[in-house]
Amino acid sequence: MSRSLLFFIIIVSVKLNAQYSINWENTTTIATSHFGNNHPRISCNNNGEAYIVWGRTSDESLQFSIWNGTNFSTPKTLNKVEVATASWMGPDLASRDDTIYIVMKAVPEDDRNSHIYLTSSFDGGRNFNTPIKVDNIGTDISRFPTIAIDLDGNPIVAYMKFDSNFRDSRWVVTRSTDYGKTFQPDVKASGFNNSAEICDCCPGSLSCKEEVCILSYRDNNKNMRDNWIAISKNNGKSFDTGLNIDNNSWMISNCPASGPAVIIHEDFIFSSFMNGARNLFRNYYSKTSISQNKVLESYNLADNIQNLRIQNYPRIAGSDKSIVITGTQAVNTGTVQIPLWFTSDYTKGFNTSFQIVDELNISNVDVAINSNSIFVVWQDDNARTINFRKGSYSTLHSKHIPGNVSVQLINTEDQWIIQGESLQSIQIIDLQGRIISSLPKINSDYFSINKNSYFNTLYLLRINTSEGYTTLKTTK
């Protein structure tokens, strides 16, 4: 006869906030390997649609697909010229409602006759216009376009620029005032603190909100390759302020081929980036005040990660006060993981607890977020496909179950048995704050969980009912 131990409701003194309220769906493959899988990038709208763009190596084409909330459309080729893509760089996109802008760089990259192009859609990706040349570079060379949308719905594009000898590297920004039909002369957006160069194989990231535009990039000041932001407060007409959001003083002579990502919320700039100082290679999170032109905080995201080797390719996205950060990390077992950090309210802090979205043969990842969903895409180098996973969250603050509502946990040799009125969902969380399992749509007063697949250690069970939630501590 198995021994049973009955646990009545326990309020555990562990801070479990909005980071743990994501209900994940199963992983989906966007398309077969025939369509390629280089460097996927994703954007979304509040109607539940997501837009994905990536490169195909075999013909240097640009592929595009739409997630309609249930499945993906058959990918279609968008480019008229061959475009530059690799696992670590490629086309970029930005969207707002049914407007989508995609930028790409033609190959060969080091040819002054190979330009940056923009294609646009104003019907949610059902149709795209003929690509328009963005850069007016003369004898110069361009590289690594990134894009944002201004307050009026016009595209703003940043890209790297070099002289004809592939020297004098700098970031520039160009604006359109006619929805991508033409572009104005570019303005410089790098070179602060007397730095003569930028990291010339590290992509950048552009974000605009109202009159503020932020370009994040990796600098190269005599081989010091920290990450910077360039700030414009006149809708990208000039970038008059630059801040080092990194300050790790990473000295390295060769290019790490990894750039930062950036978003804007209210008065704050949030960025994620990789720094390899002291040969540690860690992904970081930073917060900067726009009004003060001051970096408020910056720290690495490696706390509570056991057997970590390196992190790389961080990405960040936001919707209102919700922020999500992801990237790649390799652990000592040789596995590459996709860690994900999330808060539904950045004003209440952003801790370093994380979840694992997927793991194995992953070389690049991107993330998008709307008011209730998180969308993650990644490059799977084993199946040579692009994979996708959606998670749902709520910005409503949960409440503890009132004391007169009874929830019971019975721990047997093989099962956890949960009894309570109107059980809705259960999340199993390890002591590092990672969600190990998410069990949605229970809708019952009784639920059992088979323990055989879990390690012999402590777990936290967050149990959501129609009355609120409670957290119970248990062991296998």
Q: Is residue 23 part of a domain?
A: no
Q: Is residue 278 part of a domain?
A: yes
For residue 75, whether the previous peptide bond is cis, meaning omega lies within 30 degrees of 0, is no
Both tokens of residue 17? 């906030």
pLDDT for the residue numbered 122: 95
The residue that leads in pLDDT, 370 or 2, is 370
Q: Is residue 471 part of a domain?
A: yes
Q: Which CATH number do you get for residue 457?
A: 2.60.40
Same domain, 145 and 182: yes
Residue 390 clears pLDDT 70, i.e. is over it? yes
Domain boundary among 392, 426, 457: 392
The residue that leads in pLDDT, 369 or 79, is 369
In this structure, what is the dihedral angle of CA atoms 374, 377, 380, 383, given to the nearest 10 degrees? 90
Give 6: exposed, middle or buried? Use CB within 10 Å, 0-12, 13-18, 19+.
exposed
The residue that leads in pLDDT, 134 or 19, is 134
pLDDT for the residue numbered 143: 97
| Total domains present in the chain | 2
Reported confidence tier of residue 2, pLDDT bands at 50, 70, 90: very low
Q: Is residue 221 part of a domain?
A: yes
Same domain, 66 and 111: yes
The residue that leads in pLDDT, 21 or 222, is 222
Rounded mean pLDDT of 150-162?
96
Q: What is the pLDDT of residues 301-346, one digit of tens each?
A: 987 788 899 999 999 999 989 999 999 999 988 899 999 999 988 9
- All residues at 6 or more sequence positions from 458 whose CB lies less than 8 Å from its CB, including other chains: 430, 431, 473, 474, 475
DSSP labels for 412-445?
-SSEEEEEEEEEEEEEEE-TTS-EEEEE----EE
Q: What is the pLDDT of residues 83-127, one digit of tens each?
A: 999 999 999 999 998 999 999 999 999 999 999 999 999 999 999
Rounded mean pLDDT of 384-392?
95
Domain boundary among 392, 407, 438: 392
Same domain, 347 and 416: no
- All residues at 6 or more sequence positions from 189 whose CB lies less than 8 Å from its CB, including other chains: 158, 170, 171, 172, 173, 215, 217, 230, 232, 239
Residue 401 clears pLDDT 60, i.e. is over it? no
Collect contacts of 7-10 with beta carbons under 8 A, ≥24 apart.
7/408, 7/409, 7/410, 7/411, 7/472, 7/474, 8/406, 8/408, 9/401, 9/405, 9/406, 9/407, 9/408, 9/470, 9/472, 10/470, 10/471, 10/472, 10/473
DSSP labels for 155-206?
EEEEEEEE-TTS-S-EEEEEE-SSTTS--PPPEE---GGG--EE-TT---EE
Q: Is residue 49 part of a domain?
A: yes
Domain containing residue 66: 29-392
Q: Is residue 437 part of a domain?
A: yes
Cα 48 to chain center, whole Å?
17
Same domain, 369 and 447: no
Same domain, 258 and 191: yes
Same domain, 358 and 446: no
Both tokens of residue 68? 């309609």
Q: What is the pLDDT of residues 16-51, one digit of tens each?
A: 333 446 889 999 999 999 999 999 999 998 888 999
Range in 67-71, 162-166, 383-387, 450-454 with the lowest mean pLDDT: 450-454
Report which of 69, 38, 165, 6 is spatially closest to residue 372, judged by C-alpha positions: 69
Q: Is residue 22 part of a domain?
A: no
Q: Is residue 62 part of a domain?
A: yes
Q: What is the pLDDT of residues 160-205, one digit of tens each?
A: 999 999 999 999 999 999 999 999 999 999 999 999 999 999 999 9
Is 75 within 8 Å of 67 (Cβ atoms)?
Answer: no
Q: Which CATH number do you get for residue 271?
A: 2.120.10.10
Q: Tell me if residue 20 falls in helix, strand or coil.
A: helix
Domain boundary among 355, 370, 392: 392
Question: Residue 304 pairs with which residues in a beta bridge?
Answer: none
Same domain, 142 and 207: yes
Both tokens of residue 175? 């604006």
pLDDT for the residue numbered 405: 58
Same domain, 360 and 426: no
Average pLDDT of the chain is 89
Both tokens of residue 142? 């361009």
Same domain, 337 and 427: no
Q: Tell me if residue 273 falls in helix, strand or coil.
A: strand
pLDDT for the residue numbered 19: 42
Q: What is the chain's percent helix, strand, coil content, to nearest 5?
A: 5, 50, 45
pLDDT for the residue numbered 5: 36
Q: What is the pLDDT of residues 402-461, one digit of tens each?
A: 555 578 888 888 889 998 888 988 988 876 667 788 888 898 999 999 988 888 888 888
Q: What is the pLDDT of residues 235-253, one digit of tens each?
A: 999 999 999 999 999 999 9
Both tokens of residue 456? 């012999």
Same domain, 224 and 342: yes
Same domain, 82 and 142: yes
pLDDT for the residue numbered 72: 95
Q: Tell me if residue 137 falls in helix, strand or coil.
A: coil
- All residues at 6 or more sequence positions from 389 whose CB lies less than 8 Å from its CB, including other chains: 24, 25, 26, 27, 28, 357, 358, 375, 376
Same domain, 215 and 154: yes
